[in-house]
Amino acid sequence: MTKVPMVDIYISGKKYLVPSTLTIMNAMEYAGFQLKRGCGCRAGFCGACATVYRIAGNNELKVGLACQTKVEANMFLAQIPFFPALKGIYNINNLPPTAASIALYYPEIYRCIGCGSCTKVCPQNINVMQYIAHAQRGEIAQCATKSFDCIMCGLCASRCPVHIVQYHVAILARRLYSRHLLPQASHLKQRVMEIKEGKYEAELRQLMKLSSDELRIIYNNRNIEE
């Protein structure tokens, strides 16, 4: 049996010896930490576990998702709840799908220097710099499509030298696209109408009377649309 190499990492300044094959998240649990916040899906889909770290002897701050990033020897870790960034407050119904609408709330997109740091750090391999370019030109559909896989982890904004909040720009573009440009799905419109008309009220009341075990059985045996 091959022995797994161990490495020293530092969590909140305290040294722990952990297997080198673990992710940061797994290493923290191996060290005895119980993660109740900042752990999310544990599979790189939710963006909740953004982590700042550096390696001893190198003052450069690095970032990554704790559920994806492998530990390294002499890694110093710091968890933060979320990368702070200003978010525009708007009524999507009153915003036309134009570059001016995005610039109204995120004018910093025009300060982009094309360094590519946002793209390089993205754990989803999204071409972040490209969708920001689409936003600058008012190409809302392209911006929305190119940014569709964004998980809002904030790593792009953490590396941007001109303080663009790329992920907020992306969500605004997607909202503009879905509200004003994307044709409404007929089946969705029909379902919303049925809900408003109370078609499912009796079924919902019946479900509310069931126990957790009964609901679990129904859920596990439900018909799944292909």
Please give the pLDDT value at position 92.
Answer: 96
31 CB-contact burial (10 Å; exposed 0-12 / middle 13-18 / buried 19+):
middle
CATH 3.10.20.740 is the classification of domain 6-79: yes
Q: Write down the pLDDT at residue 79.
A: 67
163-199, pLDDT tens digit by residue? 999 999 999 999 999 999 999 889 999 999 999 999 9
Q: Give 107-133 pLDDT, tens digit per residue.
A: 999 999 999 999 999 988 999 999 999
The CATH code belonging to domain 92-181 is: 1.10.1060.10
Collapse the DSSP code of 219 into the 3-class scheme (helix H, G, I; strand E, B; otherwise coil) and give the result. Answer: helix
Ranges of residues in the chain whose predicted pLDDT is under 50: none
pTM across the whole model: 0.71
Give the pLDDT of residue 201. Answer: 96
Q: Delimit the domains of the chain by residue range.
A: 6-79, 92-181, 186-220
Q: What local confidence, expressed as pLDDT, does residue 127 receive?
A: 98
The pLDDT of residue 12 is 82
Mean pLDDT of the chain: 91
Residue 65 exposure: Cα atoms within 13 Å on the Cβ side: 22
Q: Tell me, what's the pLDDT at 83? A: 62
Q: How far is CA 35 from the centre of its chain?
A: 18
Domain 6-79 and domain 92-181 have a common topology: no
In the Cβ-directed half-sphere of 217, how many Cα atoms lie within 13 Å?
5
Tokens of 139: 């190409």
Please check whether residue 206 is in contact with residue 186, taking contact to mean a CB–CB distance below 8 angstroms.
Answer: no
**Maximum Cα interatomic distance, the chain, rounded to a whole number of Å:** 65
Q: How far apart are CA 27 and CA 207, in angstroms?
A: 41
pLDDT reported for residue 4:
86
The pLDDT value recorded for residue 39 is 81
